[in-house]
Amino acid sequence: MTSKALATALVACGLSAAACGGGATAAGPARDAEPAPRAANPATAPSGPAAETAPATTARTTPPAAGTTSAKPLSGKTVVIDPGHNGANYKYPAKINKQVDVLTQRKACDTTGTATNSGYSEAAFTWDVSRRLEKILESRGATVKLTRHGNNGVGPCITERAAIGNKAKANAAISIHADGAGPADHGFHVIIPKKIGGPVDPVVADSRRLGIDVRNAYRSGTGIPYSTYVGSKALSFRNDLGGLNLSTVPKIFIETGNMRNAGDAAKLESPEFRQRIATALANGLQTYLR
């Protein structure tokens, strides 16, 4: 190569690193891989709702070019959040105990839910976490719909909760709960639908993927262990829940912890920890939807 040709080649390399060598990309983790747990020390703040924590942001060193926009990770996705129970359900026993058809059996329209020993209700907890999750998902570009719009009402029935997700044609739906098991039982679990020869059958496989992604994100984001009393590796498959049986979109339930266990209850009562729960759920949903 002449000295003039060598100089020309060196200039070309300086202008374009890609012209002189390629980069490798790493493969992502397997979906079924179990996450490394994050410490789950409960906060000591009071149990009332806390101010929302803004999502972390990364400083931009170079402004985007004029006329361009940075796409958010969940743009174009619709998520339905179903906050379990409702704050005034206990006032209307005749209404919530009305039997409805969930295809595999008949069940009560809705239930009151459980509470911690200090009186913090499951309905208040699910509403608080759902609102936090809603804000996080919207900040990431998702369209979010809730099955109820406050914690002072009754219902809706489990059949209506499923219909809301179906009507929205949600890309994913999640029903948020906390369990009321024995005081020695602790941990969380995700409930996934089973095939029943009904409308949920076409989305059972996708619901399983959603459940695994949420399970992994919840474990690593909150540090709460897998349930010691339900399911295998925090996964439980059921065919008796109307909210799942009647769903035509990928949907799961999550029992975020056991409110009757002192250790779990201390976490669920903490506003700061509820923010961690919401963030972990958002991360699991985003993993599934990306």
Active site members? 255
| 136 φ/ψ angles, rounded to the nearest 5 degrees | -65, -45
Strand partners for 174: 81, 252
Q: 156: cis peptide before it, omega within 30°?
A: yes
CA dihedral for 271, 184, 253, 86, sign (positive or negative)? negative
Contact by Cβ (8 Å): 77, 65: no
Q: How far are the Cα atoms of 18, 74, 77, 78, 277 from residue 141, in angstroms, in the given order?
A: 33, 5, 8, 9, 19
Contact by Cβ (8 Å): 261, 186: yes
